Amino acid sequence: MNEIKPQDTNAAERALHLLGRPAVSFTLAAGTAWLVVVLAGMFLLLRYSQAAGLAGNPPAQWPVASLVPQSTGMHSLILFLHPHCPCSRASIGELEQIMTHCQGQVSAQVLFVQPAEMSEAWAHTGLWHTAAAIPGVSVRCDHAGVEARRFQALTSGQTLLYDPAGALLFQGGITLSRSHAGDNPGRSAVESLVRHESSDPAQTWVFGCALGVAEIQKGCVACKP
């Protein structure tokens, strides 16, 4: 029987060690690449969620030509939405909170922008039915985006609050970012103004799909980067 010498054992261990180095290096490289991809994806999602839409320049006084009825004796809130914008579900949720906290102090109307080529059925999405179920909220189609242009609403989620005299008090979004529900400066500002806890006009960023009829016709409905 051949005797295994200590030097032979050491040589074998060194060989196995050298053979294992490529595998370890590959594992480390693959793990590093995976981490880079994950971090890059998280960065892109975060950047997208915080990307605000165009704010527009709504009229300082309720437009006389508007066919949207202004409330008498209380604040009037208008929320413009793209009927196929998934990010706007959070805006409807925040509107429900406003109506609960300010019951009897504000009337709200949700206008879904409907291109002239589309039927009303196209606008009657789940967002429509969810908004219509909120007590104190009226829902209607904005045919051809006439009222959206009149009120300079350019992004789904655009919220406007007018006082009983027709003066603009708030403009912007009532969510913190795209699809983000929860406490946010927009909702807080609207509630404070309605409850007369504040009288200073406020403005916030608005997050959602573009409301321009041209963008809607191009299929800008996915609300994704």
Dump pLDDT digits (tens) for 108-145.
999 999 999 898 899 999 999 999 999 999 999 999 99
Question: pTM of the full predicted structure?
Answer: 0.74
Average pLDDT, the chain: 81
Of the listed ranges 35-49, 194-208, 209-223, the least confidently predicted one is 35-49
Q: CATH homologous superfamily of domain 75-217?
A: Glutaredoxin (3.40.30.10)
Give the tokens for residue 43. Answer: 């960065």
- Which residues are CB-contacts of 157 (< 8 A; sequence separation ≥ 6)? 53, 79, 80, 81, 85, 87, 88, 91, 173, 174, 175, 206, 207, 208
Domain ranges of the chain: 1-49, 75-217
> What amino acid is encoded at 8 in this protein?
D
Q: What is the pLDDT of residues 22-74, one digit of tens each?
A: 655 556 555 555 454 444 433 333 334 445 678 789 999 999 999 999 998 99
In angstroms, the Cα distances linking 60 to 35, 37, 157, 171 are 50, 47, 19, 10
